[in-house]
Structure 1
Amino acid sequence: MADMTVVLDVVKTLAAVAVPLVVAVVGHRLTRRLKLWEASQWRNQELIKARLQYYGQLAPMINDVMCYLTFVGRWKELTPPEVIKIKRDMDRAFFSVAPLFSQQAFDAYQDFVGACFSEYTGWALDARIRSGFVRRRQTQPDSWDPEWERLFTLNETHDIDQQDLAHIRAQYNRLLAALVEDIALSEPRIRYATTDLVVNAH
C-alpha cells in the first residue's frame, strides 16, 4: 500500500511538472507560427504594394497601345514612332519587374504585345505595328511622314480586319484582368469602349 502511495505521489509530481512544460512548448510553437504567419502577411502586403506601383506605371502605356491599335481614345494624338517608343518603354518596365507578377500575367502580356506588334523583324530593326496606315495618314495629312509607313505590317491594299481589332481588345482585357488579379483587387472595369468597334480603316 505504501508503494502504491509512493507511485501515486511520483505520478502527481510528474504531472504537475509536465503540465507547465507542455503549456510552454505549445505556447512556443504557437508564437513561432504566429510570427511566421505575420512575416508571410507582411511579405504578401509588400508584394501587392510593389505590384500596384508598377501597375500604375504600366497601365497607361498598355492603354495607349490598345487605343492606337483599335482607333479609340487618344489614338489620333499619337504618331507611329511614339507608339513604337511606348512599346519599348512598356517592355522595359514590364520585363524588369516580371518576376513580381504571376505566370498568367506574364503570358497575357506577351500575348497582348504579340497581337499589337510584329517583333524580331530583323537585326536592329524596330517592331512593326500590326495594322495599316491609310486611315491614320488621312487624319494627319499635314504632319504625316511617309517614312512612318514602313512601321506597319499592312500596306495600302490590305484592310484592317474587324476580328483583329476584337482580338486586340480581348487580349487587352485579359492582360488587365491578370494584372489586377495579382494585385488582389476587385474585378477591373474593362469595358471602356463597346465591343462593336465600328472602324473603316485600311
Structure 2
Amino acid sequence: MDPKGVPIWIEYAKLIISMSTPIVTGIVGYLVLQLGFGIEKNKQLNQELVKKRLAFYDAVAPDLNRLFCFYQVVGDWSDLDPAKIIEMTRRIDKNFYVYRFIFSDKIFETYIEFSRGYFEPYAGAGLPARLRLDVHYVKRQMGSKFDEAWLPNVARAPGDHGEQSALYRRLMTDLGRTITGPSTVSTTG
C-alpha cells in the first residue's frame, strides 16, 4: 500500500489506463480514417462503373431501338434491311460480350433471351444468323415495301412481334435499372 492507504495495484491500473487511452484513441482514429478512405475509394470505383455502363448503353441502345423498330415496323424501319440488321446485331453482340462482366449475369441472360427471340443463330457454316421475323405481320405492315428477296435471310421458325416487343422492353428496362437504380426507370410503356 502507498502512504495514502490505496492499494498499489490501483495506482498501477490508473497509470495503465491513463497511458492506454491515447493509444486506443489513436488506433480507433486510424481505423476510422482507413474506413473513410475505403468508402471514398469504393465511391470512386462505383462512379467509374456507372460511367462505363452509361457509355455501353449509349453504344447499344440506338442499335437495339432500330432493331426493334424494324421488327415492329415502326419508326425508321424503312431504311433497314436484313443485311443492315445483321451488321447492327454484330455490333450489339460485340459490346455485350466485351462488357458483360461489368453487369450482372441477369443482364447477359436477358440479352441472350432477347437475341434468341429476334434471331435464329447458326444458319450454317459461314452464314449469318437468320431473322426471326413475323413475316405475315411485317408484310401486312410494310405492304409493297416488303422485299421478297429478304426471305432467304428469314428463319424458318418465325418470331412473334408481341413477344419481341416484350423482350425489348425487358432488356431495356433491366439495363436502365442496372445503370440508374430501380426507382428512376419506368416499367410501363
TM-score bracket, shorter-length normalisation = 0.7 to 0.9
What TM-score, normalized by structure 1, do the two folds share?
0.81
Looking at structure 2, the residues matched to 76 and 190 of structure 1 have their Cα atoms a distance apart, in angstroms, of: 27
User: Matched residue of 1:4: which SS?
Assistant: coil
1:142-153 equivalences in 2 (<5 Å): 144=147, 146=149, 148-153=150-155
1:20-67: per-residue Cα shift (whole Å, max 9, x none)?
011011111111111111111111111111001110111011111111
Contact in 2 for aligned 1:180/1:188 (Cα 8 Å): no
User: Matched residue of 1:123: which SS?
Assistant: coil
Question: For residues 114 and 100 of structure 1, do their structure 2 counterparts lie closer, same or farther at Cα, with a shift above 3 Å needed?
Answer: same
Q: Which AA in structure 2 matches 1:178?
A: D
Q: Which AA in structure 2 matches 1:127?
A: A
1:100-158: per-residue Cα shift (whole Å, max 9, x none)?
111111011111111011111111011111112645774437xx472x3201125xxx9
| Cα displacement (A) at 1:4 | 3.3
1:40-59 equivalences in 2 (<5 Å): 40-59=42-61
Is the aligned partner of 1:167 residue 2:167? no
Question: For residues 79 and 190 of structure 1, do their structure 2 counterparts lie closer, same or farther at Cα, with a shift above 3 Å needed?
Answer: farther
Question: For residues 139 and 101 of structure 1, do their structure 2 counterparts lie closer, same or farther at Cα, with a shift above 3 Å needed?
Answer: farther
Corresponding pairs, count? 182
Question: For residues 59 and 126 of structure 1, do their structure 2 counterparts lie closer, same or farther at Cα, with a shift above 3 Å needed?
Answer: same
Instruction: List runs of 5+ in structure 2 lacking aligned partners.
Output: none
Aligned to 1:200: none
Looking at structure 1, the residues matched to 78 and 53 of structure 2 have their Cα atoms a distance apart, in angstroms, of: 30
Ranked by relative contact order (alpha carbons within 8 Å, sequence separation 6 or more), the top structure is 1
Is the aligned partner of 1:140 residue 2:145? yes
Instruction: List runs of 5+ in structure 1 lacking aligned partners.
Output: 192-202
Contact in 1 for aligned 2:73/2:142 (Cα 8 Å): no
**Among 64, 68, 82, the residue aligned to 2:70:** 68
Looking at structure 1, the residues matched to 144 and 101 of structure 2 have their Cα atoms a distance apart, in angstroms, of: 40
Q: Which AA in structure 2 matches 1:32?
A: Q
| Cα displacement (A) at 1:18 | 0.8
Looking at structure 1, the residues matched to 6 and 151 of structure 2 have their Cα atoms a distance apart, in angstroms, of: 103
Looking at structure 2, the residues matched to 136 and 80 of structure 1 have their Cα atoms a distance apart, in angstroms, of: 16
Is the aligned partner of 1:183 residue 2:179? yes
Q: Name whichever structure is richer in helix by fraction.
A: 2
Looking at structure 1, the residues matched to 141 and 79 of structure 2 have their Cα atoms a distance apart, in angstroms, of: 10
RMSD: 2.3
1:66-115: per-residue Cα shift (whole Å, max 9, x none)?
11111121112211211111111111122111111111110111111110
Contact in 2 for aligned 1:80/1:151 (Cα 8 Å): yes
Question: For residues 126 and 136 of structure 1, do their structure 2 counterparts lie closer, same or farther at Cα, with a shift above 3 Å needed?
Answer: farther
Looking at structure 1, the residues matched to 35 and 72 of structure 2 have their Cα atoms a distance apart, in angstroms, of: 52
